[in-house]
Every structure is written in structure tokens, then in C-alpha cells.
């Protein structure tokens, strides 16, 4: 993200910054609270994930530990779920909720859930587009008096749109994985009645970070369009 001298368009990003900060606070607060609340069944995150996978004919999906905090993710190419120590080894509401969320992605992969497939296809494209969008636009912006300057700005905007598509398609993928998580935890008797309240709070907080990312991407696109228009 770039800021230009005397550029007031960055002000439109403020709502995105506020929502991002609020989402991060919600995630930290919910995780801190419910990582201290043990599950009544005493099942750890890794055990919960393994049970759900096995009960859905996904014994081929491996579970590995990964360093860091809240670095948990499912790798559809390697068919492996990677869980952080705070999730895999702990028998808490937060741990089983996050682990179940990642198994939700594995279930999406098994079912051929099209938003996940589409996201997986555009991952390398969106990464490439995101890395080039701002530098190209930045270069074109300062050479807008030339024909190729306008072309570079337009190319930067197009590439940024591809990155925006990735953040938007991520929303249904994450929300669907969370809804699957709650259902599978209940169906597999990993949590007891009433414990789903804490699981939902943790997963809703996590989902809010994706909403914030999508909003920030949209506001950045709007900012690019405003900057592009100022050069006409």
C-alpha cells in the first residue's frame, strides 16, 4: 500500500483500518477467553479433527503441528491439516472450534465445494497480481503525462481487481467452513449442549477478519480509481 504526497484519498481507508483493528481485538479476546474454557469431553483440537475426518471417510488427510499462534490451516494440495500447538494439544472450546473449522475446509475439498475450488485456482494468480498492482500503478501515476503511464495505471487497477476477487470469494469459503464446524462438533458429540455458544463466538470473531480484509481491498480499489481519475 502506498501513500502519495498530499494525497487525501487515504482517508477513505479509515473505516477499513477501524474494522480491521476491531476484528483483531475480537479474535484475540475470544481466543484468550475460550482457550481457558475446557471442553466437557476432554477432547483436544487434534483429537477432534481426527475424529471428524475419520467419520467422514477422510483418513487420508494428515494432521501436522505447525509453529506459531493461530497459524492453523488446511492444505488442499497436500491433503494435510496443520494445527498450532495451542489448538492441537489443548482440550478447550477455542481449540476444538478452530480445529473443526479447518476440517470444514477438508470437507469442502471432499465435496468439491466450488468457492473453495475457485479460490484454490486463483491463489497463485491473486498473489502475483497483488504484488504487482501497486508498483505498476505507482509508476504509471508519476508518469501519467505519457500514454504508457495511463496504461500502467489501468493495468495496476486490473491486477488489483483480481486480488479483490480472492478476498471476496474467501468470505463464503470461511463462513461455510465455520457452519460445518459447529454442525460436525455437535453431530460427533465432541462438544456438549451449550458449548456451541463459545465455539460460535470464536469462529465469528475469526470470520470478521476476512470481512475486514474484503472491505479494505474494496476501499483500496476505490482509492486507486480516485487517484486514476485525478490524472485525467
User: Is residue 102 annotated as a catalytic residue, yes or no?
Assistant: yes
Sequence-distant (6+) residues with CB within 8 A of 114 are: none
User: Exposed/middle/buried for 189, CB within 10 Å: 0-12, 13-18, 19+?
Assistant: exposed
Residue of 64, 102, 174, 195 marked catalytic:
102
DSSP one-letter string for 29-69: HHHHHHTSSB-TT---HHHHHHHHHHHTT-TTSEEEEESSS
Question: What are the E-state strand segments in 59-210?
Answer: 62-66, 73-75, 80-84
Strand (E) or helix (H) holding 119: helix 114-142
Among all residues, which ones are annotated catalytic? 102
Amino acid at each position: 500500500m502506498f501513500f502519495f504526497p498530499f494525497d487525501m484519498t487515504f482517508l477513505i481507508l479509515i473505516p477499513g483500518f477501524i474494522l480491521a483493528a476491531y476484528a483483531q481485538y475480537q479474535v484475540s479476546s475470544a481466543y484468550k477467553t475460550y482457550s481457558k474454557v475446557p471442553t466437557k469431553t476432554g477432547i483436544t483440537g487434534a483429537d477432534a479433527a481426527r475424529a471428524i475426518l475419520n467419520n467422514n471417510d477422510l483418513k487420508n488427510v494428515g494432521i501436522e503441528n505447525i509453529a506459531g499462534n493461530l497459524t492453523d490451516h488446511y492444505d488442499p494440495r497436500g491433503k494435510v491439516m496443520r494445527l498450532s500447538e495451542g489448538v492441537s494439544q489443548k482440550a478447550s472450546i477455542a481449540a476444538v472450534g478452530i480445529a473443526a473449522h479447518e476440517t470444514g475446509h477438508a470437507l469442502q475439498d471432499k465435496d468439491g465445494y466450488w468457492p473453495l475450488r475457485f479460490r484454490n485456482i486463483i491463489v497463485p494468480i491473486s498473489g502475483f497480481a497483488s504484488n504487482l498492482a501497486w508498483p505498476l500503478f505507482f509508476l504509471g501515476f508519476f508518469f501519467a503525462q505519457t500514454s504508457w503511464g495511463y496504461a500502467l495505471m489501468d493495468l495496476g487497477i486490473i491486477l488489483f481487481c483480481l486480488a479483490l476477487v480472492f478476498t471476496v470469494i474467501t468470505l463464503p469459503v470461511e463462513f461455510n467452513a465455520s457452519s460445518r464446524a459447529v454442525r460436525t462438533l455437535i453431530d460427533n458429540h465432541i462438544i456438549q449442549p451449550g458449548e456451541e455458544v463459545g465455539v460460535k463466538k470464536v469462529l465469528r470473531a475469526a470470520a470478521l477478519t476476512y470481512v475486514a480484509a474484503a472491505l479494505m481491498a474494496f476501499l483500496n480499489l476505490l482509492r486507486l480509481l480516485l487517484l486514476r481519475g485525478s490524472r485525467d
